[in-house]
Structure 1
Amino acid sequence: MKTKIAILGLLFCILTSCENNKDYPNIKKANWVIGNWTNTSPQGKLVESWQKTNDSVYNGESFFIKEKDTLFGEYVKLIETNGKLTYIVTVSGQNNDKPVRFEMTSITDSQIVFENPEHDFPNKIVYNNISKDSLVAEVSGMRNGKPDLQKFKMVRQ
């Protein structure tokens, strides 16, 4: 009887340790976003910060600051589930402060593309890893019936 209990206990430990050691290959490819990034322009300063929450979740936040006023803020979760990354963004004052989901449509070691064709703007979000201290974030889609693309060249702080 003690042997059966020991075997069951060992089996339980093995199974639960396998569950906790899941591999998240796509979010690992995105680890270059982790850190603090800025884009300074005549219009103001965009600050974006990413942190690893756990093996399958990164949390991000961005703020656009002009002089001493924060004009824009958003909170992002990048989550890997079943091999797919989802970019979930909540923008202050937009979409009734409810999150909007963008699904990963492609990923390489230097680029991540997320899309949501149902969202008004943007429909597409792209992160490009230029170097260890430089990335370009792009948002694009239709705005007022015309294609719109905005690029943000970010520098690591």
Structure 2
Amino acid sequence: MRRLLPLLLLLSLALPCRAADPVIEDLAWLSGQWLGGEGERRMEEHYMRPAAGIIVGMSRTVRPGKPPQVEFIRIGPGADGKLAYHAHPQGQSPASFTLIESAPGLAVFTNPAHDFPQKITYRRDGDTLSATIEGPGKDGQVKRFGWSWRLAGAAP
């Protein structure tokens, strides 16, 4: 038995380890009040810190003379138990996007069955948060849009 124990330890170290599925706390870097815009368009995204297995967020875009665009967001378990981005855009049906890639400062969500977008990517670099949405365009080409925000209170 004494000879077997070191052998078992060596074998366990040599076996490939599967990385654990991401947990909601891995996305805590999204938390904060994010402000951005171009010209007269003002955009904000707000994400609460993870609690009770979810992150709650909202997005608001304001343009002079137009009604605000609002979207409510919940990041938490999807139907399959994996983390998902559940979007509830104003005037549209809710949609869920499964987290397929996660690293510090990076989250990629997809839903190939959704019309547009099919992919949502968030990146944080210091006090800057960027988001990209993409999916099929009417011409068959990939259509892509992106935005950036600064953390409220961060130096410009």
TM-score range, shorter chain: 0.7 to 0.9
Please give the residue correspondences for 1:121-132 in structure 2 after superposition, counting only pairs within 5 Å. 121-131=116-126
Task: Give secondary structure in 1 for the equivalent of 2:150.
Answer: strand
Please give the residue correspondences for 1:5-84 in structure 2 after superposition, counting only pairs within 5 Å. 25-42=22-39, 44-52=41-49, 54-67=51-64, 69-80=66-77, 84=82
Gaps of 5+ in 1: 1-23
Per the alignment, residue 97 of structure 2 pairs with 102
| Structure with a larger share of its residues in strand | 1
Task: Give secondary structure in 1 for the equivalent of 2:68.
Answer: strand
Residues paired across the two proteins, number? 131
1:85/1:103 contact within 8 Å kept: yes
Gaps of 5+ in 2: 1-20
Shift of 1:148: 1.1
| Structure with a larger share of its residues in helix | 1
- Shift in CA distance, 68/48, structure 1 to aligned 2, threshold 3 Å: farther
Deviations for 1:103-153, whole angstroms, at most 9, x for unmatched residues?
01110112100000011110000000111x111111111122331111111
* RMSD (Å) for aligned C-alpha atoms: 2.2
Task: Give secondary structure in 2 for the equivalent of 1:37.
Answer: strand
Task: Give secondary structure in 2 for the equivalent of 1:30.
Answer: helix
2:130/2:149 contact within 8 Å kept: yes
Shift of 1:88: 0.4
1:63/1:72 contact within 8 Å kept: yes
Amino acid of the structure 1 residue aligned with 2:120: I
> Which runs of structure 1 show a deviation greater than 6 angstroms over 4 or more consecutive aligned residues?
none
Q: Does 1:136 align with 2:153?
A: no
- Shift in CA distance, 153/83, structure 1 to aligned 2, threshold 3 Å: same
2:76/2:85 contact within 8 Å kept: yes
Per the alignment, residue 112 of structure 1 pairs with 107
Sequence identity (%): 25
